[in-house]
Amino acid sequence: MALHGGGAAGWGECVAGERPDYSPETTETAWQVLATEVLPAVVGQEHPGGAAGIGDATAWIRGHPMARAAVEMAAWDLEAKLGGVPLYKALGGGRRAVPTGISLGLQPDRDALVARVGAALAEGYRRIKLKIEPGRDVEPLRAVRTRFPDAPLSVDANAAYTLGDLPRLRALDELGLLMIEQPLAADDLVGHARLQSELATAICLDESITSAATARQALDLGACRVINLKPGRVGGLGEARRIHDICLSRGVPVWCGGMLESGVGRAHNVALATLPGFTLPGDLSPSRRYWERDLVDPEWVMEEGALTPLDRPGIGVEPNLARIEALAARRMHFR
């Protein structure tokens, strides 16, 4: 989506999925909330603090952070363009190569998993994240670790476990993982705190972290030692930066997760990940990982296992309007 003002256009992307599996939001709910609530609260209104204050204009809306983030992030891009500065600089980051990791889904067997990991390492990815679930975890991971003893491995459970799986989760400690991401339900901070006290491996929280307040609560409880920070999940770049600052002040590493964005969303993520607290490789794959042809020019290319923001005003890349128009399923203009 684009916000227009001052002769420029700022671009954002709503990262809600078609189904409410990762988040309660979907493309349909986001479309409705954008049309009836978010855009009327933002377009044509005065916003003290500029882009940083856009989030305040929609803070009264309960939930729907991905819909709110789409507009808020577009405002950041617009403001940076009007100011003639790259988005990473507007956020307080510095131009640097952002290390890139890859997330690999469940595979049909161990041989296929080992082959996928080998291919990802050969491509230059700096961290390999493997999806796990009960019964498809310890043994496949052991096979990968045996084949690649020094590979930077992490796992993502997407809340598939309970505290009843503690023996199985304890067994992951012997595999030298960087972290175990979101093992328990998103709303179970107390359970995560108990689990973290039982494990040597760091727990990373993803779905649980919905705001700066929940991030602070999780850290106060000892529920995690790493945070996966996705701007769309927390309502935009302003809130993401607040979470980053909390973690930085406490020495807790953060990394930028991906939500299958186009090159527009990827640009925002890369800019955010230039902030100093992002010390672990993020899920920031190049365009060709997901797209036959991306929606932006130039496309995102990984070099030496990293993506680097372009030194141009705003997000740096230009949305390909002809391609977006050709692929559009529906349109909405709000004045």
Strands (E), the chain: 2-5, 8-11, 98-99, 101-104, 127-131, 153-156, 180-181, 203-205, 226-229, 254-256, 296-297, 306-307, 318-319
**Alpha-carbon distances of 309 from 60, 176, 269, 280, rounded to whole Å:** 33, 31, 10, 17
CB 309 within 8 A of CB 88: yes
User: How far is it, in rounded angstroms, from Cα 77 to Cα 3?
Assistant: 9
SS3 assignment, position 186: coil
For 101, which DSSP code? E
Rounded (10°) CA dihedral 101, 103, 108, 113: 10
Q: Exactly one of 81, 89, 129, 230 is catalytic; which is it?
A: 230
Catalytic residue among 81, 89, 129, 131: 131
CA-wise closest residue to 14 among 299, 259, 246: 259
Active site residue 89: no
230 in catalytic set: yes
Dihedral sign (CA 219, 224, 225, 227): negative
Closest by Cα among 238, 228, 245, 224 to 268:
238
Rounded Cα–Cα distance for residues 164 and 42 (Å): 46
Q: Catalogue the active-site residues.
A: 131, 230
